[in-house]
Amino acid sequence: MSVLDHFTDDDLLEELVRRRNSAKPDYQPARFCDECMYFRTWDGKGSLPESYNPCAKKHRMEFHAPATYDQINDFGYYRTICTDRQERPQ
């Protein structure tokens, strides 16, 4: 019998959500979405529509903003896990 058998699936899922929501705000993503071939930048024509999603696969992304001015190059959209990610060719 595993230690986890003492908990329901709902208990375990709630714990995962609690841990994710209490993560440190200074978390630095390992890879940003703009390095993926499915990332689309806004072409600047007209105003940005509310439905605009930079991901061609329509994934929900998080945005990382630097905590200090020292980290000004470390910002942008990211996903912690993305099965569709393909590195942009150099």
Residue 72 included in any domain: yes
Closest CA to 31 of 69, 62, 7, 10: 62
Q: What is the pLDDT of residues 21-65, one digit of tens each?
A: 776 555 667 788 888 999 998 887 888 888 889 999 999 888 877
Is position 33 within any domain? yes
In the prediction, which pLDDT does 56 show? Answer: 92
Closest listed residue to residue 33, CA positions, set 84, 76, 89, 70: 76
Tell me, yes or no, whether 84 lies in a domain. no
The pTM for the full model equals 0.58
Number of structural domains (the chain) is 1
Position 28 scores a pLDDT of 67
Say if residue 8's pLDDT is above 80.
yes
Residue 87 lies inside a defined structural domain of this protein: no
Residue 7 lies in a domain: no
Domain that holds residue 59: 26-78
